[in-house]
């Protein structure tokens, strides 16, 4: 291990952080790359969905996500699995993510595509992603019962939870019936 | 290559450098799989995790656990000893009482990690109440396991960062930034780290009102009261599990000269907020 402290921090027991602030790191992964991560070697075809106002309202009601969902960001594999790109906006951060849903309606995976990191430590050690993997939309919808969102979870975690939830509502309303 | 997934209740980021893309993509999955496994074994939000089963049954009969769970418990006990009881994972009853963990049956007397026994045949038993929450150590442990999995899969260098608990591996220097405890959206340069780990604890995120009282996720095991300091506490150490655990020792003692820091080859750092919080 090698640690070289910043000059302003060296040799003082309690330091004030007086060095200049820097911009936040942001990760960025393209749609194509994310598709390959979630469905390696598989071909995905665009499968845009047009949502009715009633469907949008239901997604809003059941997830409390207000930003409009962009129906053109839906893809399908030959096996009938789904790949959806969405974004949620928290108080301090934006998270763009992809959700992969297996043909049987269970969640295959979640990958963050863009993330402006502003919070991190506040979230407890919750079982988080595993709460989703393998769940169907029925299970996912009962947020308070099934998804043990940590007490005092971050805005970012909460918003992502809500985002996944609204996509599962959309799956239920629109994608599930399509062959 | 960089990838970010929601795990451990936070955003876990893995970056791999100097490695061919095919190797990197396999390594990233191995890294996240290791973190998922730690979460599966140790989350108290999962009723079937090893830790949840210990909390529920170990007072009545020995509970068989996975090797990683044994390893982290042995380390948590060693840290308890070398910190004179400042690091104690037996604070789940307090966190539950403050609404920060799922509620369980109340304990009859004080809970402590000192009450658990690791048996020869891979089981855990308790001689007195031990309701564990590994929130102060499991994230660091997961980061270490991920870094090992990445290296084993052929990654030559990079970083694993689980919401601020991070491990740099390989030979390159990594610039490390810390959040300002007064304004967590602001980060500041703290130094350069190669082949090592850093973790930070602060209560500014976990602090909340519970029945008219201010509480936080950081419990003083001596007084069983929440720590409400406005400073942040960082520890640099060779392993992230050590850095993670020792941030709690630093926050509780406020003393950068404790023997356990040098014993674990750790560098403690305390930060004042840049301005006084309201």
Q: What is the CATH number of the domain that holds B227?
A: 3.10.520.10
Whether chain A has a CB inside 8 Å of the CB on B241: the answer is: no
pLDDT digit string (tens) for B253-276?
999 999 999 999 999 988 877 665
Query: Of A112, A125, A126, which has the smallest distance from its Cβ to B11's Cβ?
Result: A112
Whether chain A has a CB inside 8 Å of the CB on B230: the answer is: no
B12 with B111, same domain?
no
Which token pair is B53? Answer: 């089963």
Counting the structural domains of chain B, the total is 2
Residue of chain A nearest B194, judged by CA positions: A2
Rounded CA separation A159/B265 (Å): 39
Q: Within 10 Å of residue A51's Cβ, how many Cβ atoms?
A: 17
Domain boundary among the residues B136, B164, B188 is at: B136
How many angstroms separate the CA of residue A29 from the nearest CA in chain B? Answer: 8
Domain ranges of chain A: 26-175
pLDDT digit string (tens) for A114-160?
876 543 322 222 333 333 444 444 433 332 222 222 212 223 456 78
Which token pair is B20? Answer: 């061919």
B27 with B46, same domain?
no
B127 with B224, same domain?
no
Q: Given a cut of 80, is residue A73 above it in pLDDT? A: yes
CATH code: domain of residue B87:
1.10.3980.10
Query: Of A9, A121, A130, which has the smallest distance from its Cβ to B200's Cβ?
Result: A121
ipTM value: 0.81
Q: For position B187, what pLDDT does the model report?
A: 65
pLDDT digit string (tens) for B200-212?
887 666 667 777 8
Which residue range(s) make up the domain with B75?
42-136
Q: Given a cut of 90, is residue A52 above it in pLDDT? A: yes
Rounded CA separation B142/B39 (Å): 8
Q: Within 10 Å of residue B92's Cβ, how many Cβ atoms?
A: 25
Q: Percent of chain B, pLDDT > 90?
A: 55
User: Has residue B147 been placed in a domain?
Assistant: no
- B9: helix, strand or coil: coil
Question: A13, A27, A107, A120: best mutation site toward chain B, by most B Cβ within 10 Å?
Answer: A120
Collect all residues of chain A within an 8 Å Cβ-Cβ radius of residue B193: 1-4
B162 with B265, same domain?
yes
Rounded CA separation A32/B106 (Å): 51
User: Has residue B148 been placed in a domain?
Assistant: no
B66 with B103, same domain?
yes
Rounded CA separation A48/B138 (Å): 41
Query: Of B10, B133, B196, which has the smallest distance from its Cβ to A120's Cβ?
Result: B10
Rounded CA separation A112/A160 (Å): 10
Q: Given a cut of 80, is residue B74 above it in pLDDT? A: yes
Q: Given a cut of 50, is residue A105 above it in pLDDT? A: yes
B122 with B50, same domain?
yes
B189 with B161, same domain?
yes
Query: Which one of B138-147, B160-169, B195-204 scores highest in mean pLDDT?
Result: B138-147
B27 with B160, same domain?
yes
Least confident range of A153-157, B110-114, B185-189, B196-200: A153-157
Q: For position A50, what pLDDT does the model report?
A: 93
Asked if the Cβ–Cβ distance from B11 to A117 is below 8 Å, we say: yes
Under 8 Å CB-to-CB from B142, ≥6 apart: which residues? B7, B8, B34, B35, B38, B39, B162
Asked if the Cβ–Cβ distance from B4 to A153 is below 8 Å, we say: no
User: Has residue B220 been placed in a domain?
Assistant: yes
Interface of B with A in 173-192 (CB under 8 A): 173, 177-180, 184-192
Rounded CA separation A28/B182 (Å): 28
Q: Given a cut of 90, is residue B6 above it in pLDDT? A: no
B233 with B160, same domain?
yes
Rounded to two decimals, the pTM is: 0.83
User: Has residue B54 been placed in a domain?
Assistant: yes
User: Has residue B109 been placed in a domain?
Assistant: yes
Asked if the Cβ–Cβ distance from B6 to A112 is below 8 Å, we say: yes
Q: Average of pLDDT values for B223-241?
A: 88
Asked if the Cβ–Cβ distance from A124 to B270 is below 8 Å, we say: no
Residue of chain A nearest B47, judged by CA positions: A127
Whether chain A has a CB inside 8 Å of the CB on B194: the answer is: yes
Query: Of B2, B179, B191, which has the smallest distance from its Cβ to A9's Cβ?
Result: B191
Collect all residues of chain B within an 8 Å Cβ-Cβ radius of residue A127: 39-40, 43, 45-46, 49
Query: Of B99, B191, B256, which has the smallest distance from its Cβ to A151's Cβ?
Result: B99
Arithmetic mean of pLDDT over chain B? 88
Strand partners, B226: B219
Q: Percent of chain A, pLDDT > 70?
A: 62
Query: Of A37, A123, A152, which has the smallest distance from its Cβ to B163's Cβ?
Result: A123
Q: For position A157, what pLDDT does the model report?
A: 56
Q: For position B201, what pLDDT does the model report?
A: 85
Asked if the Cβ–Cβ distance from B196 to A154 is below 8 Å, we say: no
Domain boundary among the residues B90, B106, B136 is at: B136
Q: How many CB pairs under 8 A join A and B?
A: 186
How many angstroms separate the CA of residue A125 from the nearest CA in chain B? Answer: 5
Which residue has 């959806």 as its token pair? A84
Q: For position A143, what pLDDT does the model report?
A: 29
């Amino acid at each position: 291990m090698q640690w070289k402290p910043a000059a302003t921090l060296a040799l003082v027991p309690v330091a004030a952080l007086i060095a200049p602030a820097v911009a936040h790191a942001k990760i960025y992964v393209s749609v194509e790359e994310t598709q390959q991560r979630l469905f390696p070697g598989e071909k995905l075809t665009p499968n845009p969905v047009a949502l009715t106002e009633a469907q949008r309202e239901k997604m809003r009601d059941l997830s409390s996500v207000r930003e409009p969902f962009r129906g053109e960001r839906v893809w399908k594999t030959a096996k009938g699995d789904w790949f959806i790109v969405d974004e949620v906006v928290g108080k301090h951060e934006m998270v763009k993510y992809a959700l992969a849903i297996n043909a049987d309606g269970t969640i295959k995976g979640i990958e963050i595509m863009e993330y402006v990191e502003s919070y991190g430590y506040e979230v407890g050690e919750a079982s988080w992603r595993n709460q989703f993997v393998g769940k169907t939309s029925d299970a996912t919808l009962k947020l308070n019962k099934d998804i043990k969102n940590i007490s005092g979870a971050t805005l970012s975690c909460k918003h992502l939870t809500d985002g996944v939830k609204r996509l599962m509502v959309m799956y239920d309303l629109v994608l599930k019936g399509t062959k | 290559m960089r990838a970010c997934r929601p795990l451990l209740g936070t955003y876990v980021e893995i970056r791999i450098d100097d490695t061919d893309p095919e190797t990197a993509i396999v390594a990233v999955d191995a890294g996240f799989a290791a973190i998922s496994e730690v979460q599966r074994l140790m989350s108290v939000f999962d009723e079937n995790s090893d830790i949840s089963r210990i909390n529920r049954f170990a007072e009545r009969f020995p509970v068989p656990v996975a090797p990683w769970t044994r390893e982290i418990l042995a380390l948590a006990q060693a840290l308890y000893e070398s910190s004179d009881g400042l690091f104690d994972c037996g604070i789940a009853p307090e966190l539950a009482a403050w609404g920060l963990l799922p509620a369980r049956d109340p304990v009859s007397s004080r809970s402590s990690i000192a009450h658990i026994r690791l048996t020869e045949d891979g089981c855990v038993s308790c001689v007195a109440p031990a309701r564990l929450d590994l929130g102060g150590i499991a994230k660091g442990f997961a980061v270490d396991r991920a870094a090992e999995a990445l290296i084993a899969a052929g990654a030559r260098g990079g970083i694993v960062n689980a919401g601020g608990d991070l491990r740099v591996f390989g030979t390159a220097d990594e610039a490390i930034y810390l959040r300002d405890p007064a304004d967590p959206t602001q980060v500041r340069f703290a130094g350069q780290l190669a082949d090592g780990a850093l973790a930070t604890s602060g209560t500014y995120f976990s602090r909340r009102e519970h029945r008219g009282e201010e509480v936080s996720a950081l419990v003083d095991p001596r007084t069983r009261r929440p720590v409400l300091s406005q400073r942040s506490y960082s520890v640099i150490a060779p392993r992230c599990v050590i850095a993670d655990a020792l941030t709690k020792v630093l926050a509780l003692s406020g003393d950068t000269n404790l023997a356990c820091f040098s014993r674990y080859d750790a560098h403690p750092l305390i930060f004042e907020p840049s301005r006084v919080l309201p």
